[in-house]
Chain A
Amino acid sequence: MRTTRRAFIKAIGAGALAPRLLRAQSGRSVTDSVGRRVTLPPRVERVYAAGPPASILLFAMAPDKVLGWTSPFRPDERPFVPARYADLPTFGRLTGRGNTANVEVVLAARPDLVFDYGSTSPTFASLADRIQEQTGIPYLLIDGAFDRIPDAFRLLGGIIGVDEQGARWSRYAADTLEDIRARVARVPEARRPRVYYGRGPSGLQTGLSGSINMESIERAGARNVAAELGQGGLVQVTIEQVLRWSPEVIVTTDPNFFAGVWGDPSWRSLPAVRERRVHLAPGLPFGWIDSPPSVNRLVGLHWLGRILHPQAFTEPLRPIVRDFYARAYHQTPSESQLDALLATDKPPET
């Protein structure tokens, strides 16, 4: 009697453990961009993107697996994205020490995996390990380097089980990058314009060489006037420095700066302003140059190409933009929306 009861209890215990073991055995093992091996469930349906760049990467490739956003859509951003996606809940960021996301809220959403797209430094790798250990949810890091965008698509596609979309996007991204690269290569060094990228309302914040903010602009074959200041991130400069650099083209993302630069006596003296080569980058629903630094920048490359090297980029921009938005944001923009997007880089009529 006793032995049968003991055997019975053992069987129950094994039965209780069995689902866990079964999961582990049938789960897939994947490796992320920093070499961390993570075990995933066989089907990944619910994905939590831990930061804005990750959100866009996921949304472009597999919008139906998106659980929510890190910050809500602004009213002027909403029209570019189907309502059912724009209405998804907001979770906050789970990146960096000091996430705004409430871990319990994330857990309550029952994600199959969490991933982040961008920096793969030891800080982020160790944070990923901690959160994974704390919550039991697999956490993956994908390298956000500009040149590795095609790899990112393929890796994420394989992880979440949308290999076909992953391959398609990877090809699209690789083709875009190669196309831009080839055209820029044909423009001689001396004919590449000297560009100043002015950020913020005063326009006096710019990116140094190699900074994540300058990646698009530099890939599009611009010579960064701030390169002489060295390598790094963002810096504040003075108007005297800009005047000394005398850029041929000015690119900005701030509408207030763009509106005011034409009348400002200091800026007016610059050749770029006189020749009306100041351009406001479109930013809806996501920036075309750098905010956030994710796959949304791909469309910006085409736009930059036309601004910087009109001879090398002769095809109309409009169909490219329409196509990109339909692919990436899953909604073909209306003609008036396209007008609004493409008109922002024209100087005001005076």
Chain B
Amino acid sequence: MKLEARDLAYGYRGHVVGQGANLTLSAGEIVCILGPNGGGKTTLFRTLLGLIAPLGGEVLLEGSSLHRRPRSAIARMLGYVPQAHTGYFPFTVQDVVLMGRTAHLSPFATPLRSDREQAMAAIERVGLATLADSEYTRISGGERQLALIARALAQATPLLVMDEPTASLDFGNQVRVLETVVGLAKEGKGILLSTHDPDQVFLCADRVALVHRGRVTDIGPPQSGLDAGLLRDLYGVEVQVSELDIGGKTRRVCVPVAAQSAISDRE
């Protein structure tokens, strides 16, 4: 299962946000899109999901054009986890997650017991079993994000697209979400997620693509490809990329330089 962007130009009618994007996402891998806020990551994702039409180039799903496929076919292959938001109506967590099963229902059907069971399993997988009957609008931001991930899991797609899944979450919840993402990839899912935090990239990504000034550059595995120079170009600040030994494995971390020197000056 493969999602591919070829020479993709994306944006809104008359306004190009980015062009020349080349990306692939395959099952079992985690691809991160890294870039500053306002850089067009969400627009790119909406184009990859088929929610808006590409302005140039193409998006291919399993080798054929995404936009020619019916919605339900796309929804069986590609799941979407948006940023958590408040809802308009007091659906329960279970209601929201169950909606993920829509693609597997025939046009006039309502969810069957097997759908409800799958939804419940997804809720348990993300650790929200105790909140299954709570109102979606009344749980915390982190819990809402997990509920949306559960919905995508219930959708049972081989590929997932997650738009800033850790935005507005506290440190603990951020880590929990990333752990879930890593676990899903190990189970065989392909996950495309966007973030503005380089450390998250180092934590989970198999490959990273930088989105900056309308260009999308796939630089491969972050361990080898993502260095301080690129990050400086991306964010306009000085950073140092170091390697740490965590549990016997080497992991890169990104540390801002400027704050450190102020402290050391004071010492």
Please say whether the chains A and B touch (CB closer than 8 A): no
Residues of B within 8 A of A (CB): none
